[in-house]
Amino acid sequence: MKFTSLSLLTLMLLATVSALPAASPKDLARRNIPLKPSEDSFYSNPAGFESAAPGTILKNRDLPSTIATLGLIPANIKYTQQILYRTTNALGDPAAGVATILIPYNADYTKLLSYQIAEDAASINCSPSYALQFASDSGGFAGTIVTQLEWLIIQGTLEQGWPVVLPDHLGLNGTFLANYASGKHVLDAVRATLASQSFSGIDPDAKVALWGYSGGSLASAAAAELRDTYAPELDNIVATVLGGPVPDIENAVKVLNKGIFAGLIPNGVLGLANAYPAFAPIIQEHLLPSKKAEFNTAYDTCLGASALRFILHDLFAYFDDFDALLAMEEIQTVLTANDLGHAIPTIPIYMYKSILDEIDGIGYTDKLYKTYCNGGAKVKYVRDLISEHGTLAAFGAPKALTFLAKAFRGETVVTKCTKTNTLSSLLDISTATIVPDFLKDTILDLLYKPVGPFLIG
């Protein structure tokens, strides 16, 4: 079933793309090619930003280029805007962050979805605000393919009429795995977006929901945990969706090594080095001289490219003694500080995970569920039997979308903690109408249909 479903969608997309007229050199010349964030002054701290309150909009602008599916096919979105806002980094110091606001046609401005993309990189040039634009650099072959594929899910949320904010939750220097800094980025992006009514039209009292898969779920979970203490005024967050969470970093590193996603290890190690300056020299000191240059390529490549470069590699062998390095107090302090479960969310949560997940297995997500529930959280936890980490991102999306729609309508979505197993989330009866609509809208959006719900009258 996994192969058939994915192949069907892939063939439909390829057939549609092949039917599109090829862009001529003149067409391409008329479209702006965006600067990489490392070369773009918008991605910098303006003078005196430290004195602004978290969530303050520091500046905003139209996107330099259009949002484009796979970086090539422009999407017809009613309104797009980038914002630079004040937030807080992993050390508790003032920082700035960038987010992208998307407004669909026929928008419901009383709702706002904050969607956290699985950027999973140590480079600012992998930021979603850049990677989703037409002709952006992919950061190595297939570097931003995950971001590009997640755009298809984001389009599905825009088709519901919900305005969406996409925070670059890894900050201005790619702090992958600094999860609670990412959580603050998410909350401050929401604050800033709710304050953007003068140019976005979004209701400052709009209902808000959070959603992220894999690396995006880390930021979403941390935001849910931090809401009560960091942004208690955001009591309008009605739901959080966590897909494929990876709650324990050390366990994930051990599972990932020598596997198909081993490239997440250098991305994560260097992401933490970006977040914690004292972490960086320790890592560089223990890298073998013969492996240092290769390992450090993760500073400049995005997720997909790192995954391909390091597939099946024994990354532990890149160090003089990885087990001893991992056991160091300085390393353990950073890892433990960024594991999930430091606080109990009071926001209703829908969590889904594949029992066959090859990133970290199911056990630590079961443990996170128990931690949340023992602390009084309300969590609907679904364990998927026949998917794995990658396929569940697609197969679990329709059911997650249904959950969010109910929350936005004001329905009670979770009353207590429940844990269930399902053959496939895609087979849930609640998704019967969503899946065909999603496939139809995906094809039509590629043909430049106005992204948003079709309303009569």
Helix H, strand E, coil C: the string for 206-235 is CEEEEEEECHHHHHHHHHHHHHHHHCCCCC
Contacts of 156 (CB under 8 A, 6+ apart): 397, 401, 438, 441, 442
Round the average pLDDT of the chain to a whole number and report it.
93
CATH 1.10.260.130 residue spans of the chain: 249-337
Count how many residues are written for the chain. 457
Region 90-111: what's the mean pLDDT?
98
Cα 148 from Cα 153, distance rounded (Å): 10
Region 106-121: what's the mean pLDDT?
98
Q: Where does 249-337 sit in CATH, by number?
A: 1.10.260.130
Cα 262 from Cα 258, distance rounded (Å): 6
Opening angle at CA 211, ends 205 and 213, nearest 5: 165
Between 190 and 429, residue with greater pLDDT: 190
pLDDT-based confidence at 429, cuts 50/70/90?
Answer: confident
* Orientation angle between helical segments 434-446 and 145-158, nearest 10 degrees: 110
Which ranges in 126-260 belong to alpha helices (H)? 128-131, 145-158, 179-194, 197-200, 215-230, 249-256
Q: Is the pLDDT of residue 11 over 50?
A: no
Cα 262 from Cα 255, distance rounded (Å): 9
Least confident of 295-304, 344-353, 380-389, 447-456: 447-456
Specify the residue for token string 């000191």.
Answer: 285
Please give the share of the chain, as a percent, with pLDDT higher than 70: 93
CB 142 within 8 A of CB 308: yes
Query: What's CA 354's distance to the chain center, in Å?
Result: 18
Cα 319 from Cα 295, distance rounded (Å): 10
Cα 77 from Cα 66, distance rounded (Å): 9
Region 90-107: what's the mean pLDDT?
98
- DSSP structural state of residue 242: E
pLDDT-based confidence at 339, cuts 50/70/90?
Answer: very high
Query: What's CA 388's distance to the chain center, in Å?
Result: 18
pTM: 0.93
Cα 186 from Cα 357, distance rounded (Å): 26
* CA nearest to 312, candidates 377, 259, 249: 259
Specify the residue for token string 């897909």.
Answer: 243
Opening angle at CA 160, ends 158 and 164, nearest 5: 35
The tens digit of pLDDT for each residue in 368-387 reads 999 999 999 999 999 999 99
pLDDT-based confidence at 18, cuts 50/70/90?
Answer: very low
Q: Is the pLDDT of residue 70 over 70?
A: yes
What positions carry a catalytic annotation? 214, 357, 389
- DSSP structural state of residue 84: E
Cα 125 from Cα 174, distance rounded (Å): 8
Cα 18 from Cα 299, distance rounded (Å): 35
Give the pLDDT confidence score for residue 456 in this predicted structure. Answer: 64
Least confident of 7-16, 340-349, 353-362, 372-381: 7-16
Give the pLDDT confidence score for residue 17 in this predicted structure. Answer: 40
Q: Is the pLDDT of residue 183 over 80?
A: yes
The tens digit of pLDDT for each residue in 296-338 reads 999 999 999 999 999 999 999 999 999 999 999 999 999 999 9
pLDDT-based confidence at 10, cuts 50/70/90?
Answer: very low
For residue 367, CA distances in Å to 320, 342, 364 come to 32, 13, 5
CATH 3.40.50.1820 residue spans of the chain: 44-248+347-446
Q: Is the pLDDT of residue 433 over 90?
A: no
pLDDT-based confidence at 8, cuts 50/70/90?
Answer: very low
Give the pLDDT confidence score for residue 230 in this predicted structure. Answer: 98
CB 168 within 8 A of CB 97: yes
Q: Is the pLDDT of residue 2 over 60?
A: no
Which tokens sit at 402?
């249904």
Domain 44-248+347-446 has CATH 3.40.50.1820: yes
What is the dihedral angle through the alpha carbons of 141, 176, 393, 376, rounded to the nearest 10 degrees?
180
Residue type, 4: T
Q: Is the pLDDT of residue 27 over 80?
A: no
Strand partners of residue 98: 84
End-to-end CA distance of the chain: 40
Contacts of 433 (CB under 8 A, 6+ apart): none
Cα 381 from Cα 240, distance rounded (Å): 12
Strand partners of residue 84: 59, 98
Residue type, 154: I
pLDDT-based confidence at 26, cuts 50/70/90?
Answer: very low
CB 205 within 8 A of CB 324: no
Q: Is the pLDDT of residue 273 over 90?
A: yes
